[in-house]
Chains A and B, each alone.
Chain A
């Protein structure tokens, strides 16, 4: 029992640190090689965690090897376009000018049902409104409608709008996040004044305070 507990902790920490070192992209979007990595790591960690007759190094050495190889491949794919194409493949255009590219679909083993399902999930039921549909290397479908099917933007309508900027969390559950406050160029006094103006007595009464770069404030007080 004790062995299992300690081993689980060690593997968990090794994998968390490893995945963290891989960078953010690996966590969100899995390329084929990253999917393989995830599956292999899960399997390599699970076996020594349960079987105490297998040394922990039997799991850790291959995991470290896989993480290092992935790190090397990810840098090489970033640096070399040909290598990237070889490892990750290239995006495929499956609809061009409203026409289904049957050869591309066959090459990617994408069925019509799957294509239609993906299009419906993005709100497109009529193929003729789709200018391009691109099957990305991550397996996701990007859909670009014809220009006359896109909703008009403020620029199209020639309307002037104020740029809000990126809202940052300044107070989270009563705690002031100094680094975000600094990034916004505001002071603690300003925050306290904004809080009081919105009916709260102090930081401890605030559940969430968002401030954008234009000075827009969103405040959610703590519930009683």
Chain B
């Protein structure tokens, strides 16, 4: 038998409310961070496409690689919080885009790049606190 511990019930209430507030804060921070990450990478990819259309393939490849490095650098975060299937799909798309930019195949590159940008946008959209996502 242990002696009853004196614990104010309101302590439990406020502790639970604090954890809920923390979880809410983390989810909002995650939404902001994913948007910032995908927007930055998307901007690089769009810029790379403009360079490719101007026939500056070397710069376009360098910019695409930079976008890939930005994504790869956040691998741990992405795989901890987002669906692995979505992250794997983006990895596959990056590989395809890097290959097309290397062989300077404009049509294929443009299609693969557009798909990659769309995947990044959708990934970010999925994490945003919106009614569309809730329902």
Q: Using CB atoms and an 8 Å cutoff, list the residues of chain A in contact with chain B.
A: 52-58, 61, 64-65, 67-69, 71-72, 74-76, 78-79, 166, 168, 179-180, 183
Query: In the complex, are the beta carbons of A55 and B16 less than 8 A apart?
Result: no
B134 at interface, CB cutoff 8 A: no
Query: In the complex, are the beta carbons of A71 and B81 less than 8 A apart?
Result: no
Query: In the complex, are the beta carbons of B15 and A71 less than 8 A apart?
Result: yes
Q: A52, A65, A79: which contacts B9 (Cβ < 8 A)?
A: A79
Task: List, in ascending order, chain B residues with CB within 8 A of A72's CB.
Answer: 13, 16-17, 20
B131 at interface, CB cutoff 8 A: no
Query: In the complex, are the beta carbons of A71 and B82 less than 8 A apart?
Result: no
Closest to B3 in A: A183
Q: A56, A68, A78: which contacts B16 (Cβ < 8 A)?
A: A68
Whole-angstrom CA separation of A183 from B17 in the bound complex: 36
Q: Using CB atoms and an 8 Å cutoff, list the residues of chain B in contact with chain A.
A: 1-3, 9-10, 12-13, 15-17, 19-20, 23, 27, 79-85
Whole-angstrom CA separation of A202 from B15 in the bound complex: 47
Query: In the complex, are the beta carbons of A64 and B23 less than 8 A apart?
Result: yes
23 contacts between A and B (CB under 8 A): A53-B85, A55-B79, A55-B80, A56-B80, A61-B23, A64-B19, A65-B20, A68-B16, A68-B23, A69-B16, A71-B16, A72-B16, A72-B17, A74-B12, A75-B10, A75-B12, A75-B16, A76-B13, A79-B9, A166-B1, A179-B1, A183-B1, A183-B3
Known contacts A57-B81, A65-B23, A72-B17; decide if A78 and B1 are in contact (CB<8 Å): no
Task: List, in ascending order, chain B residues with CB within 8 A of A78's CB.
Answer: 9
Q: A55, A69, A71: which contacts B83 (Cβ < 8 A)?
A: A55
Closest to B15 in A: A71
Q: B13, B23, B81: which contacts A75 (Cβ < 8 A)?
A: B13
Task: List, in ascending order, chain B residues with CB within 8 A of A67's CB.
Answer: 16
Closest to B19 in A: A68
Closest to B24 in A: A65
Whole-angstrom CA separation of A57 from B27 in the bound complex: 11
B25 CB, min distance to chain A CBs, angstroms: 12
Query: In the complex, are the beta carbons of B2 and A57 less than 8 A apart?
Result: no
Whole-angstrom CA separation of A52 from B79 in the bound complex: 11
Whole-angstrom CA separation of A104 from B124 in the bound complex: 53
